[in-house]
Structure 1
Amino acid sequence: MGEVDAYLSTIDGADREALERVIAIARDVVPEAQDGISYAMPALLYRDKGLLATVRTKKFLSLYPYSGAVVASVLDALSDFQTTTGSIHYSAHHQLPDAVVRRIVEARRAEIDATSGQASDRGEPR
């Protein structure tokens, strides 16, 4: 069991389902992502960099794409959600739309690809 699955196993109910949903979407978009730890949070890693983490806090669920630029790139779709420079807050009863989660993951993957100096295996030019 990886770090993300181990973390999710500690949470019950609707919060767990909401967190699992975000992770499932991210794994669908970037199937090569691996479980790991980034900034002390269980996270999906891509090319050994934080792709996405989503955790429960006392007041809400938070999604961390490890990039303020990624959060800024989807602000147009987040008017109903509270955000910070590096996180997006949601809840089991007010979940992020699938398309927004996909945009976040795709943007972060592209950012990691660009900073790693390597093209991905998806046939993109170097």
Structure 2
Amino acid sequence: MAKTDYKTIDEYHNAFPAEVQERMQAIRNIIHKLVPKAEEVISYQIPAFKYHGFLIYYSAYAKHITLSSPWSQALLQAFDADLKKMKVSKSAIQLPNNEPLPTDLVKRIVAFRKKENEAGK
């Protein structure tokens, strides 16, 4: 991945192997389905979505895709049971590439972030 001056999410996706692109596109589709008014941007050279502020980011790596945002304590508590088996920090959740993409979890996280942003949190 030599290019680091991405202007669009498509440019970012195209820098990765097809199977990783598919996983990222699935996340992108979930975001657009749940938050149709979300604006696509590149921030910190990774895909990001804005809706009443930054909603969520994602980025790809050799062994995982990371969902990121400055997670609220409420979000981390709400998804504690789901996140126990994953590597999680205050701002990142790693979704291993060698496991099926947890689309239901991604949907619930995006919906939670949407509500937080709408409430101004």
Same topology, TM > 0.5: yes
- 1:7 corresponds to 2:2: no
Q: In structure 2, what is the equivalent of residue 83 of structure 1?
A: 88
Q: In structure 2, what is the equivalent of residue 99 of structure 1?
A: 104
CA distance in 2, matches of 1:5, 1:36: 11
Percent identity, aligned pairs only? 24
Instruction: Please tell me the root mean square deviation across aligned C-alpha atoms, in Å.
Output: 2.1
Deviations along 1:15-61, whole A, 9 cap, x unmatched?
111111111111111111111133443211113x2211111135422
Give how far 1:66 is off: 3.3
Q: In structure 1, what is the equivalent of residue 59 of structure 2?
A: 55
Q: Give the 3 Å change call, closer, same or farther, for CA 53–92 of structure 1 in structure 2.
A: same
Q: Give the 3 Å change call, closer, same or farther, for CA 37–54 of structure 1 in structure 2.
A: same
Q: In structure 2, what is the equivalent of residue 20 of structure 1?
A: 25
- 1:67 corresponds to 2:71: yes
CA distance in 2, matches of 1:3, 1:37: 6
C-alpha contact (below 8 Å) 2:87/2:94 kept by paired residues:
yes
Q: For structure 1, which segment, 11-20 or 87-96, has the greater mean C-alpha deviation from structure 2 after superposition?
A: 87-96
1:108 partner letter: R
TM-score (norm: length of structure 2): 0.79
Q: Number of aligned pairs?
A: 114
TM-score (norm: length of structure 1): 0.77
